[in-house]
Structure 1
Amino acid sequence: GFPPTGSKIINTGMALSRIRNGKIDEEWIQRDEVGLRQQMGR
């Protein structure tokens, strides 16, 4: 883990869902891990 700094960060990403017969059949989630780590100084 990382020690808390009290600083605010912005975490961006996207989610893509495949709907089949009115229900979520598959879902993919992608986050900006590099941007998150850069803001955390890692």
Structure 2
Amino acid sequence: MVNHPVLIVDDEVEMRIAMSETLKHCGYPVEISHNAIDALK
């Protein structure tokens, strides 16, 4: 099974960290970004 990275985009640091840690704990690779412009790069 291939796990494609989950992209988290949120301007709140605490929310990015919480979502990232939860998904990583469940075995998902995670990419994070603090805004849509950076997420599209």
The structure with higher relative contact order (CA 8 Å, sep 6+) is: 2
Shared fold per TM-score greater than 0.5: no
Q: Which has the larger radius of gyration?
A: 1
The structure whose residues are more often helix, as a share, is 2
Name the TM-score, length of structure 1 as normaliser. Answer: 0.33
